[in-house]
Structure 1
Amino acid sequence: MFARLKHSDPARLHLVLMLVLTFSTGVIDAVGYLGLDRVFTGNMTGNVVILGMALVGADGLPVLGPAVALAAFMTGAVIAGRTLKPEAAAWSRRTTVLLAAVGLILGGIAAVLFAHAPREGDPVTVVVTGAMAAAMGMQAATARHLSVKDVTTVVVTSTLTGLAADSRLGGGTGQHWGRRFGAVILILAGAAAGAALLNVHVGFGVLLSAILSVAVAGLGAATSNRRPDAKAPEAKAPAASLSGTAAR
């Protein structure tokens, strides 16, 4: 499968890699919401809604976690945005470095979670929440830079809107329905996988996402270094033949 991807066109490859990161985000959000006191570290819309309800004391919802996640997510996005600003909208060394950094951050978080069980209000848990959100902010900004249509890796509301509005039922042509449907299904599957892994240990979901991020960075780097074969130079006519032609 990977060999086939490495020889595919860049647009298709980027789509597949961003869909993998979409699955990874589903895993991370399941870990954050179920394992870190109802905090989304990838889907910031959910945090804004939770924070708004929490500010009026609704159902004892958390305030600190969502606020930290929002600030950290934006910080991660700023870092990625500044890093990628000089680059064209294509895979580059900086893209690889950012996604590899996401994987390394998540790997470090997984190690912390294996050593320290998260608890509500615990300073370590707050730091873990912020670090996860910062990593997701970096991922989201990197995906945005690659400009893969309809695949942001962190939200599916706009994807669902496009899927419905542009469908034949909505009067459209159904263009890009496959990638839109795939993004929705993959973030759903990722959330299910993250919730299932929580039954084993809270760190396993984060570790899975770390592995996926590093794999995406590595595969993207390997294929971006590929160069099309140069065309063979045209064969020169023998000197004698050229001389004969000139004489004529």
Structure 2
Amino acid sequence: MFHQQPYDETVTETISVPRRRVRDLPRLHLQLMLALTFSTGIIDAVGYLGLDRVFTANMTGNVVILGMGLAGADDLPVLGPVLALVAFMAGAVAGGRALRGRTGEWTRATTWLLAAVGAVVLALGLGLMVWHDPPEPALLSVTTLLGAVMGLQAAAARALGVKDVTTVVVTSTITGLSMDSRLAGGRGDLWGRRVLAVVLILAGAGVGAVLLNVHLGAGLVAAAAVCLVCAGIGHRHARA
């Protein structure tokens, strides 16, 4: 006679937990990228206000400053923006090679890239706090290294593929927010994340400006802490 096997709730639970975690991963990735957007605002505030008006993450603004500087407008810098731009591109190339085309998921390479970003930014922040009144060549080195690690971060964020949250720029985010809004005849899709990305980079810039009153390196230390925490959380959940 056929005997029906008793229902085992533990088996169902074992199957359902991983599925739930998979569904939660996109939300987690979004939250981590938004946190990195906040830290980017801090870093760009330090770069522009403390490192001779250079954006080390927002390359759109950096290229504009470079163009005006080349035209001799208002004594704007040229060398700093050039170094930041070249370093950012080099960092993005290195990030692309490390990720090897793997997109849409948090990999070990993602963890290492973001951990490297956090470690370098932390080292630069602590170095500036220890080294009183560093000369201009040292500040240019800080600008270059910040540009390089921001390129790494941008590559990691692009590979992760969180829509409208690149962590380093919000121009396309604002465009999407406006074009898809109900005022433009759209449905207002993804408006929440888009607004948060703009607000967080704005808040990060404000925090960075305030921390400059404490010390030039204070903002970098704070940004590094955010990045390292994001790397740790992302790695832990990816392993799970």
Given candidates 189, 193, 207, the residue that maps to 1:193 is 207
Matched, 1:168 2:182: yes
1:180 aligned to which of 194, 207, 223: 194
Q: Which has the larger radius of gyration?
A: 1
Query: 1: CA distance between counterparts of 2:103 and 2:214?
Result: 42
Equivalent positions of 1:1-248 (< 5 A) are 9-117=24-132, 122-226=136-240
Residues 164 and 170 of structure 1 are in contact (CA less than 8 Å); yes or no, is this contact kept in structure 2?
yes
Deviation of the 1:86 alpha carbon: 4.7
Structure with higher helix content? 2
Instruction: Quote the offset at 1:117 in angstroms.
Output: 4.4
Contact kept, 8 Å, 1:118 with 1:125, in 2: the verdict is no
- One-letter amino acid of the counterpart of residue 180, structure 1: R
Partner of 1:245: none
Residue 115 of structure 1 deviates from its aligned partner by 2.2
Scaled by the length of structure 2, the TM-score of the pair is 0.89
The separation in 2 between residues aligned to 1:113 and 1:149, in whole angstroms, is 35
Please tell me the root mean square deviation across aligned C-alpha atoms, in Å: 1.4
Q: Write the distance in 1 (CA, Å) between the matches of 2:109 and 2:176.
A: 30
| Counterpart residue number, 1:229 | none
Give the Å deviation of 1:122.
Answer: 1.1
Q: Contact 2:58 / 2:169 at 8 angstroms: preserved in 1? A: yes
1:169 is paired with a residue of what secondary structure? helix
Q: Does structure 1 conserve the Cα–Cα contact (< 8 Å) formed by 2:101 and 2:159?
A: no
Identity %: 59
Deviation by residue 1:132-167 (Cα, 9 ceiling, x = unmatched)? 111111001100000000000010111001001100
Secondary structure of 1:9's match? helix
Which sections of structure 1, spanning at least 5 residues, go unmatched?
1-5, 227-248
Superposed displacement of residue 111, structure 1: 1.7
Give, as a single letter, the amino acid of the residue that structure 2 aligns with 1:59.
Answer: D
- Within 2, Cα distance between the matches of 1:165 and 1:110? 39
CA distance in 1 between counterparts of 2:238 and 2:36 reads 18
Partner of 2:13: none
**1:112 CA displacement:** 1.6
CA distance in 2, matches of 1:224, 1:32: 32
Mapped to 2, the partners of 1:31 and 1:116 lie a distance apart of: 16
State how far apart, in whole Å, the 1-side matches of 2:159 and 2:233 are.
17
Deviation digits for residues 84-118 of structure 1, max 9, x if unmatched? 01534200111000000000010110122112346
**Structure 1 stretches (4+) deviating beyond 6 angstroms?**
none
Provide the C-alpha distance between the structure 2 equivalents of 1:168 and 1:101, rounded to a whole number of angstroms.
Answer: 41
Change (3 A) 1:63 1:98: same
Query: Residues of 2 paired with 1:70 and 1:64: CA distance?
Result: 10
